[in-house]
Chain A
Amino acid sequence: EPEVTQTPSHQVTQMGQEVILRCVPISNHLYFYWYRQILGQKVEFLVSFYNNEISEKSEIFDDQFSVERPDGSNFTLKIRSTKLEDSAMYFCASSEAGNSGNTIYFGEGSWLTVV
């Protein structure tokens, strides 16, 4: 079964540093997403991306965050200046389309620890 893959699986970074989390969505999917889960809390939506632009974003997704599809296969989340509270599991996801009939498939996540 096709999978969403994410790298790195775990990253430790110092506060104030920039971090890029990478994702390879399922190949025929057109919609891409980032979610995060802070330890002990629920999974939260960050952003959705379609046709090279953001289609929806949450309040969490402020100017510190950005997403990009630099080539035909990768989808990245950049955190510009990390804060301690950015420590979380970040999940990439993708779907064939954005409408109601489509399932969103998740990757295994990237653990980000900010120290």
Chain B
Amino acid sequence: AQSVSQHNHHVILSEAASLELGCNYSYGGTVNLFWYVQYPGQHLQLLLKYFSGDPLVKGIKGFEAEFIKSKFSFNLRKPSVQWSDTAEYFCAVKSNSGYALNFGKGTSLLVTP
């Protein structure tokens, strides 16, 4: 069965700390990979996406993610978080042949000053 797993449900970091949020998926075939962010009271916004090519993708606000096909992973990273990065982060996977995004359960990130 297709699934998306986010390992950390709640993460608390101090400002300037480095961030890595894990995402693993179980899918057959070619996939497209996404990280979305939801700031408090706002809608889901795309941070970055991977479709093909360079497995290290850079997104907005200094975020990046690396697709490791052999590990079925797409971990999100940021070298130095800010208080404004406090939000819910969702990994999502889509089969290349389908329309539906399959989301992970999300990781709640709290960055303390």
Q: Which of A43, A98, A103, A108 contacts B103 (CB 8 A)?
A: A43
Q: Which of B32, B36, B43, B90 contacts A100 (CB 8 A)?
A: B32
A101 to B34, CA, bound (A): 12
* Size category of the binding interface on chain B: 20 to 34
Question: B78 on the interface (CB 8 Å rule)?
Answer: no
Question: Does B100 contact A42, Cβ atoms closer than 8 Å?
Answer: no
Residues of B within 8 A of A103 (CB): 46, 49
Interface positions, chain A 36-57, Cβ under 8 Å from B, are: 41-45, 48, 55-56
Question: A58 on the interface (CB 8 Å rule)?
Answer: yes
A41's nearest neighbour on chain B, judged by CB, is B105
Question: Does A48 contact B100, Cβ atoms closer than 8 Å?
Answer: yes
Question: Does A44 contact B99, Cβ atoms closer than 8 Å?
Answer: no
Cβ contacts B70-113/A at 8 Å (1 or 0 each): 00000000000000000000101010101111111110000000
Question: Does A104 contact B101, Cβ atoms closer than 8 Å?
Answer: yes
- 28 CB contacts below 8 A, A to B, read A35-B103, A41-B105, A42-B103, A43-B101, A43-B103, A45-B100, A45-B101, A45-B102, A48-B99, A48-B100, A55-B99, A56-B100, A58-B100, A91-B43, A91-B44, A98-B99, A100-B32, A100-B52, A100-B94, A103-B49, A104-B46, A104-B101, A105-B46, A106-B36, A106-B43, A106-B44, A107-B43, A109-B43
A interface, CB within 8 angstroms of B: 4, 31, 33, 35, 41-45, 48, 55-56, 58, 91, 98, 100-101, 103-109
B interface, CB within 8 angstroms of A: 30, 32, 36, 42-46, 49, 51-52, 90, 92, 94, 96, 98-106
